[in-house]
Amino acid sequence: MQTPTRFAPFLIGAALLASAPALANDAAVDPRIRQVESGLLPRAALKENLGRTATLEQRMRELGIPGLSIALIDGGKIAWVRAYGVRDTVDKTPVTVDTLFQAGSISKPIAALGALRLVKEGKLSLDEDVNAKLKTWRVPENEFTKDQKVTVRRLMSHTAGLTVHGFPGYAVGTDIPTVVQVLDGQPPANTSPVRVDVVPGSTYRYSGGGYTVMQLLIADVANESFESFMQSKVLDVIGMTSSSYSQSPSPALAARRASAHRPDGARIPGKLHIYPEMAAAGLWTTPSDLARYVLYVQAASRGETGQVLTTSLVREIVTPQNGGGHGLGPSINGTGAFTRFGHGGVDEGFEADMVGYVTRGQGVVIMGNANLAQMLFQEIKGSVARAYAWPGYEIEPQLEAQRIPASLLERIRGKYQLNPNTAGSFVARDGRLFLEISDFGAMEVFAKNSTELFAPPMGPMTFQLVEADGKVTGLKTSNGREFKRIE
């Protein structure tokens, strides 16, 4: 899966966090490391706890995150790397700074470098119809593509008009579809066909399906497998030597992988899901390697391009395209000297986040092995921003919450239709409420008052219960939508 942005409360026990953090630079050298680790401000808190900071390990316990790894960029280099907890709740193997995690949708901006390399070599053009170069499969033409076409620029910036937001992956031991089967929605693919259903270039809409088209395009043009091309022409070149798009990586890399965990803390069967949609969600990597991507873009934006791209192409990467919130790969936030690029990622049992300033040598990459980590990531980034004085980085104010009555926790539990293509489940654990959404992760839900609920990652939107015959039949949102209960 996979998208930018997602928590639960089971206690994983002191044993899971007993291993001392591994680090590249001792905290005594830079006291800001300890400041980051001890300065987390929970996104929402009861009135009596407002303003009270927490430690990273405390928040990992509270949110049930088995393992975590962080790479901090400062002064134009990787300033420090630290690892926490365990990579597997069954065998209790500690996370190290070399542990690999699935990157989810952070796979996308890295994959974009592959297509851009082919643009640099003159084998692709940013603005030509991709059907001119696709060989194995072609984007089906229809009334929406009559005048405007699907292009590389539009694929990278999520403005190609293509469907399919993200992918759930495939359990180990099940049939794995080819990329063409995924694009056509044919068994054993578990997602709908990838099709154009709005005029290309007319609107921004996040599409993992678009990046799967780009994956096939790269393979067709390079005349080799996507994962092989990305390894030799991108990953190895920029120093991401602990990374691989292969779903069967080398034994040396496979031995370093973390295991995926569900929101209730259980390790998923087979330890991971397989993603034939590699460009959209299939990258295995480390925070340090993703930090090298950030550093490459920062340096190339200054004119230090190396072998992969030209300065002009890298500057396109960090320029919002077609009125959307994405450049050519990463999302873009802020303006001027405060412009930042990055991406979030969610796969089954893994989550990740990455952000870097375009013109400053600052940033951070965080990866975890549970679908409950995005709230924690936001708290870590806020702590980093305070400790390292990130300019122009807006830290959202802490929200006051009330306790959710036990009777409400029990009555609201169930599955709800959030939109025509997405369902979510409200689950209660240890007196707390969580909303789990496939392909988005999970988030904690709080009580705003006696009648309204809210989830911080969903902004100011609140929920009110819809009831009939004493039963909860849905939730009405403050913006007029209704989430109907389906289970």
Contacts of 298-305 spanning 24+ positions with Cβ under 8 A = 298/76, 298/356, 298/357, 298/358, 298/359, 298/360, 298/361, 298/363, 299/76, 301/358, 301/359
Query: 300 and 425 share a domain?
Result: no
Domain-ending residue, one of 358, 387, 416: 387
Question: In the structure, what pLDDT confidence band is assigned to residue 49 with cuts at 50, 70 and 90?
Answer: confident
Query: 378 and 413 share a domain?
Result: no
Q: What is the mean pLDDT of residues 428-435?
A: 85
Query: 183 and 303 share a domain?
Result: yes
CA distance 121 to 233: 12
Q: Is the pLDDT of residue 197 over 50?
A: yes
Torsion of CA 25, 27, 29, 31, to 10 degrees: 140
Lookup: tokens for 94: 């500690």
> In the prediction, which pLDDT does 132 show?
98
Q: Is the pLDDT of residue 322 over 90?
A: no
Q: Is the pLDDT of residue 366 over 70?
A: yes
> In the prediction, which pLDDT does 464 show?
92
Torsion of CA 17, 22, 27, 31, to 10 degrees: -60
Answering whether pTM is above 0.85, one says yes
User: Residues for the chain: how many in total?
Assistant: 487
CA distance 281 to 108: 7
Lowest mean pLDDT among 23-37, 224-238, 268-282, 369-383: 23-37
For residue 69, the surrounding DSSP H or E stretch is strand 67-74
Question: In the structure, what pLDDT confidence band is assigned to residue 13 with cuts at 50, 70 and 90?
Answer: very low
Q: Is the pLDDT of residue 24 over 90?
A: no
Query: 368 and 481 share a domain?
Result: no
Q: What is the mean pLDDT of residues 70-90?
A: 97
Classify the C-alpha dihedral 256-14-401-264 as positive or negative.
Answer: positive
Classify the C-alpha dihedral 424-425-429-431 as positive or negative.
Answer: positive
Could you give the 3-state DSSP secondary structure of residue 237? Answer: coil
Find all residues with CB under 8 Å of 452, minimum gap 6, and list them. 462, 463, 464, 478
Summarize pLDDT for 400-431 with one digit per residue, the tens. 898 888 888 888 999 999 888 788 899 888 88
Task: Note whether residue 141 is domain-resident.
Answer: yes
CATH code for position 410? 2.40.128.50
Q: What is the mean pLDDT of residues 311-320?
A: 94
Q: Is the pLDDT of residue 326 over 50?
A: yes
Q: How many CB atoms lie within 10 A of CB 287?
A: 27
Task: Note whether residue 303 is domain-resident.
Answer: yes
Q: Which domain does 151 fall in, by range?
A: 102-387
Query: 304 and 406 share a domain?
Result: no
8 A C-beta contact, residue 81 and residue 70: yes
DSSP state of 162: B
Beta strands (DSSP E) in 348-421 are 350-357, 363-368, 399-401, 414-419
Task: Note whether residue 53 is domain-resident.
Answer: no
What distance, in Å, lies between the first and last C-alpha atoms of the chain?
Answer: 23
Query: 302 and 443 share a domain?
Result: no
Q: Name the β-bridge partners of 104.
A: none
Report the percent of the chain where pLDDT is more than 70.
Answer: 93
DSSP state of 255: T
Domain-ending residue, one of 387, 415, 446: 387
Query: 261 and 409 share a domain?
Result: no
Query: 237 and 376 share a domain?
Result: yes
CA distance 308 to 305: 7
More confident residue, 353 or 440: 353
Q: What is the mean pLDDT of residues 375-398?
A: 92
CA distance 267 to 345: 19
Lookup: tokens for 172: 């180990």
User: What b/e readout covers 261-277, taking b as 16+ CB neighbours within 10 angstroms?
Assistant: bbbbbebbeebbbbbbb
Domain-ending residue, one of 387, 410, 435: 387
Task: Note whether residue 79 is domain-resident.
Answer: no
CA distance 407 to 315: 54
DSSP state of 326: B
Question: In the structure, what pLDDT confidence band is assigned to residue 7 with cuts at 50, 70 and 90?
Answer: very low
Mean residue pLDDT across the chain:
90
Q: Is the pLDDT of residue 12 over 60?
A: no
Decide the pairing of beta strands 44-46 and 399-401.
parallel
Q: Which amino acid is at 130?
A: V
Query: 343 and 448 share a domain?
Result: no
Structural domain count, the chain: 2
Q: How many CB atoms lie within 10 A of CB 15?
A: 10
> In the prediction, which pLDDT does 2 show?
45
Query: 468 and 412 share a domain?
Result: yes
Q: What is the mean pLDDT of residues 160-176?
A: 97
Task: Note whether residue 260 is domain-resident.
Answer: yes
> In the prediction, which pLDDT does 344 show?
96
Query: 259 and 364 share a domain?
Result: yes
Task: Kindly list the distances between the CA atom of residue 278 and the CA atoms of 88, 222, 327, in Å, as whole numbers in the listed order.
Answer: 23, 16, 20
Task: Note whether residue 331 is domain-resident.
Answer: yes
CATH code for position 324? 3.40.710.10
Could you give the 3-state DSSP secondary structure of residue 270? Answer: coil
Task: Note whether residue 327 is domain-resident.
Answer: yes
> In the prediction, which pLDDT does 139 show?
98
Q: How many CB atoms lie within 10 A of CB 349?
A: 26
8 A C-beta contact, residue 380 and residue 56: yes
**107-120 and 287-301 helices cross at what angle (nearest 10)?**
40
Q: Which amino acid is at 144?
A: F
Query: 230 and 182 share a domain?
Result: yes
Task: Note whether residue 128 is domain-resident.
Answer: yes
Summarize pLDDT for 450-476 with one digit per residue, the tens. 888 998 878 788 999 999 888 899 999
Report the percent of the chain where pLDDT is more than 90.
Answer: 71
Q: Is the pLDDT of residue 287 over 90?
A: yes
